[in-house]
Amino acid sequence: MTTEERPARTRTTAPPPGPVTLDPGDWDAFRSLAHRVVDDMVDHLEHRRDQPVWHQMPDDVRDTFTTGLPRAGLGAEAAYEAVLQRVAPYSMGNDHARFWGWYMGAGHPVGNLADLVASVLNPNLGGADHAPVALEQQVVRWCAEAAGYPGGSSGLLVSGASEANLVGLAVARTARLGPQVRTDGLAGLGPVAVYASAEVHSCHRKSCELLGLGDAALRRLPVLDDLSLDVAALEAAVVADRAAGITPLAVIATAGTINTGAVDDLEAVADLAAREQLWMHVDGAIGGFLGLSGRADLVRGIERADSLALDLHKWMQAPMDVGLVLVRDEAAHRATFSVVPEYLRHATRGLAASEVWFHEYGIDLSRGFRALRVWMAFVAYGADTFGALMDQTMGQARRLAALVDQHPDLERLAPVGCDIVCLRYAPSTLPPDLVDAVNRELVLCVQESGMAVVSETTLGGRIAIRVAIGNHRTRDEDIDLLVATLERLGPQAVAGVAG
C-alpha cells in the first residue's frame, strides 16, 4: 500500500467551537440523564424476575454491532438509548434468579452503587497514599479472615480466580526454584511438576503454559468416588517424579471443583505438602469462603495453604469482575513481582509516600477500584449474610438433588458438592445411545425457553446437565420450576434429537 492509498487517520469532522472537553456543557441535562439511568437500572433489578433469563439477540440487533467507528459523537443520551434498546435486553442473564450456568454470581445492588462511585472517583490502585489503597488493604484482610486464612498474609484483588491462580503459582515458582528464575528463566533447571486432581480447572493449564512450565508439567491425578483428589495417588506421583529426577514444585488443591463442587481433603494435602516440601496452593474460586457457612468443616486445612485463590464474583455475588489472591509469605509474594523503576520510586512525603504498592504484588500496574464493591458489600450486608447465603444455596442444591432422586425420568450423576448438582434426563423409554444427545439438546431447550439457564459438562464419559446455583436471588420455588421445566421440555428434546 502506498502512502496515498492509506485511509485518512485525521479527523473528518469539524472541530467543536471552544476548548475540547468530555464533560457536559449542561450539567442539569446530564444530571437528569443520570437520574434516568439510575431509575431504569433500579426498575430493571426490581422486575428482572418476571422476564426471560436469556433470549438471543435478533439479527437486526446483532448487525448494529458491526458498524464502523463513529467519528462524530451523537451525545450521551443517544449512546444510552442504544444501550437500553440493544444491549440491556440481550445481556447474559446472570443477574436473573434462575441463572445457574457455569458458575457465577448474580451481582448485588450495593455493588452496583459502588461501581458508580468507583468509576467517578477513578483512582489508580497501583499504589500511592490514598484512601482507596488503604481500603483495598482492609478488603484483603477481611477476605483472609472470612476465608479462615492467617492474618499478616499479603494479597491483592485481581480480575478473577484465573489471575489469582496464576499469581499464586508464579509465587510458588519463584519461591521453590529461587529468585534467579526471574533473570534466567527456566533454562537449565530441569523438569518440574505441578500436581492437581483430574477435576482441576482449565485455568491452571494456562498458568503452567504462561509460566514456562508447560502443560505437560501439570499432573492430573485420579479422584476418589466423591471426585476429590486421591491423596495416595498424589504421594505416589511425587515419589515417582523425584525418582525420575523431576522436581515437584507445587500441589494445587481445589476447594469446590468446577464440575461438581468437590472439595479436596485440604488437611491431607497440607500434611503431604509439608512432608514433601511442596508449595500448597488452594484454588478456592468456588468454596474458598465456606468458612463463613455452616460447612466450614469442608475446608479445614485451608489455613495451611501457602497461597489461596478466591473469587468474589461467584458465591460472594460481587458484580463482575473481581477475585483475590492471598499469599502467606509477604516477602515471597513481593519477591516474585516487584519491579520498581525510577518513575515509580516511593517517597517519604506526598502522594507517593505509601508503604504498599499493589503493583509490586501482581501483574497489573494500573488497577481499578474493584475493592469498593467488595468493601461496601461487607459493610452493608455483613460477612455472616454471605455465610447464610451459602447455606441457603447448598440447601437448594440438596432440594434439587432430592427431587431428581425421586423422579422416574431424572438421574443424578454426581454427589452434590457445594451448591452444584449434575443430573440428566433419562426416561426408561429412551434408547441409551440417545441419552447424551438428548441431554445436550435439553440444555439448549431450557436456555431458549427463557425459564432458566443451565450448562452442560461430561462426567465419566456421560453428558450431564449442570446446575450451579451460586445465586442469591434463587428461591426454593425456582428449583421446583426447573424440575417442572425439565419435565416439560424433555419430550421436546427427545423429539428434536430423534426427529
How many Cβ atoms are within 10 Å of 54's Cβ, its own excluded? 22
- Candidates 96, 173, 201, 466; binder of ligand PLP (CB under 6 A) is 201
Give the β-pairing of 420-425 and 410-412. antiparallel
State the nearest-atom distance from the C-beta of 31 to ligand PLP, in Å: 36
State the nearest-atom distance from the C-beta of 155 to ligand PLP, in Å: 15
**Is residue 286 a contact point for ligand PLP (CB under 6 A)?**
yes
- Candidates 110, 170, 203, 397; binder of ligand PLP (CB under 6 A) is 203
Residues 310-369 within binding reach of ligand PLP (CB under 6 A): 311, 323
- Candidates 103, 337, 361, 425; binder of ligand PLP (CB under 6 A) is 103
Q: How far is CA 84 from CA 27, 81, 92, 95, 368, in A?
A: 22, 5, 14, 16, 25
Nearer to ligand PLP, 160 or 387 (CB): 160
- Separation of alpha carbons 403 and 449, rounded Å: 21
How many chain residues interact with ligand PLP (CB under 6 A)? 15
- Candidates 127, 160, 168, 387; binder of ligand PLP (CB under 6 A) is 160
Nearer to ligand PLP, 201 or 412 (CB): 201
State the nearest-atom distance from the C-beta of 414 to ligand PLP, in Å: 15
Nearer to ligand PLP, 100 or 103 (CB): 103
Which residue stretch of 87-95, 180-188, 283-291, 297-305 sits at the interface with ligand PLP (rule: CB under 6 A)?
283-291
Q: In this structure, what are the phi and psi dihedrals at residue 21, rounded to the nearest 5 degrees? A: -145, 150
Nearer to ligand PLP, 123 or 417 (CB): 417
Which residues, at least 6 apart from 472, have a Cβ–Cβ distance to it below 8 Å? 105, 106, 108, 317, 389, 393
- Candidates 144, 161, 298, 482; binder of ligand PLP (CB under 6 A) is 161
Q: x/- binding map, residues 369-388, to ligand PLP, per CB under 6 A?
A: --------------------
Nearer to ligand PLP, 286 or 486 (CB): 286
* Amino acid of residue 204: H
State the nearest-atom distance from the C-beta of 158 to ligand PLP, in Å: 9
Q: How far is CA 227 from the centre of its chain?
A: 21
**Is residue 118 a contact point for ligand PLP (CB under 6 A)?**
no
- Separation of alpha carbons 264 and 255, rounded Å: 6
Q: x/- binding map, residues 217-256, to ligand PLP, per CB under 6 A?
A: -------------------------------------x--
Give the β-pairing of 462-468 and 455-459. antiparallel
Phi-psi category of 301—alpha, beta or left, where left has phi over 0 and alpha has psi -120 to 50? left
State the nearest-atom distance from the C-beta of 160 to ligand PLP, in Å: 3
First to last CA, the chain: 54
State the nearest-atom distance from the C-beta of 264 to ligand PLP, in Å: 11
Nearest residue to the partner ligand PLP, using Cβ: 160
- Separation of alpha carbons 418 and 363, rounded Å: 31
- Candidates 112, 154, 162, 471; binder of ligand PLP (CB under 6 A) is 162
Per CB under 6 A, residues contacting ligand PLP are 103, 160-162, 165, 201, 203, 254, 257-258, 283, 285-286, 311, 323
